[in-house]
Amino acid sequence: MNRLLSTAIYTFSVLIGIASFAYPFVLTPANGGAAQQTLAPLLTLVLLLLCLGVLLIEVQGQTINARMVAALGVLVSITAVLRFIETAVPAPGGFSPIFAPLILAGYVFGARFGFLMGVLTLLVSALITGGVGPWLPYQMFVAGWVGLTAGWLPHLRQTRLELGMLILFGVFWGFLFGFIINLYSWPFIMGPEATNWQAGVGWQAGISRYLAYYLATSLLWDSVRSLGNVALILLLGTPTIRALTRFRERFEFQVVV
């Protein structure tokens, strides 16, 4: 019962995230911008309450034990500090050191752990760096999806294949993160007519306009993020996976009746 309830909460949170990115498209840019400013704190609060509810349910059901919650807190703190370093010493393009830890932790500990780590890391790092704004809940959602989908990856026995899979996954999310996040701001940014959002043009024309906007403004930026993910996973992936796997195996347990 607890597992079904937590699964329902995870699913609900994903649906809220999808709806939040689709939300601006039903408003005009002028009204939408004001409404989005009001919506952002509500989304943040709802997402935090869902995460807290999931933790309480899964701790009681022993899906995540107390030691795993402590591990979640430590990993969130470390990754949030990495983002503070990124802010203090800006890296080129969209490079960020937080995605490799999210991917590796989600891969080792599972989708649920990865989702919670992604959401909480973006929240804590925003509080540390002063990056709190209407964009925050959208970043929290997508970072949660990074960790969530990393937990869905198959666990391969060959180290090289495993590392190659994670590198490709890092490249994929390096581009996809920016592609999704841009949907939050695209309807409110003025630019060339061919790349602007416009109500009532139809979904085919809307996709064409957004692709033109993305290629013109974000492809190069996201390429740097993807290359950064490749470098960090290639350098730290194997030892990090081994360390996290040892920790997971040490603190996992089964109750035998």
Residue-level pLDDT at 143: 93
16-71 pLDDT, tens digit per residue, is 888 878 765 666 555 555 555 666 677 778 877 877 777 767 666 555 666 778 88
3-state DSSP of 171-237:
HHHHHHHHHHHHHHHHHHCCCCHHHCCCCCCCHHHHHHHHHHHHHHHCHHHHHHHHHHHHHHHHHHH
Residue-level pLDDT at 1: 60
Q: Tell me how many domains the chain contains.
A: 1
Cα-based torsion angle of the residue sequence 86, 90, 92, 97 in order, rounded to the nearest 10 degrees:
0
Residue-level pLDDT at 225: 93
Cα–Cα nearest to 43, from 11, 70, 66, 21: 21
Give me the domain span that covers residue 241.
2-251
Residue-level pLDDT at 228: 93
Q: pTM for this structure?
A: 0.85
148-168 pLDDT, tens digit per residue, is 999 999 998 888 999 999 999
Considering the domain boundaries, does residue 257 fall inside one?
no
Q: Is pLDDT above 70 for 185? A: yes
- The residues, any chain, with a CB within 8 Å of residue 168's CB and separated by 6 or more, are none
Which amino acid is located at 61 in the chain?
G
Considering the domain boundaries, does residue 256 fall inside one?
no
DSSP symbols for the chain: -HHHHHHHHHHHHHHHHHHHHHGGGGS-HHHHHHHHHHHHHHHHHHHHHHHHHHHHHHHHHTSS-HHHHHHHHHHHHHHHHHHHHHHHSPPSTT--TTHHHHHHHHHHH-HHHHHHHHHHHHHHHHHHHT--STTHHHHHHHHHHHHHHHTTS---SSHHHHHHHHHHHHHHHHHHHHHHHHHHHGGG----GGGS--TTS-HHHHHHHHHHHHHHHTHHHHHHHHHHHHHHHHHHHHHHHHHHHHHHHHH------
The percentage of residues in the chain with a pLDDT greater than 70, rounded to a whole number, is 83
- Half-sphere exposure at residue 147, Cβ-oriented, CA atoms within 13 angstroms: 29
Considering the domain boundaries, does residue 41 fall inside one?
yes
The answer to whether 68 and 251 have CB atoms below 8 angstroms apart is yes
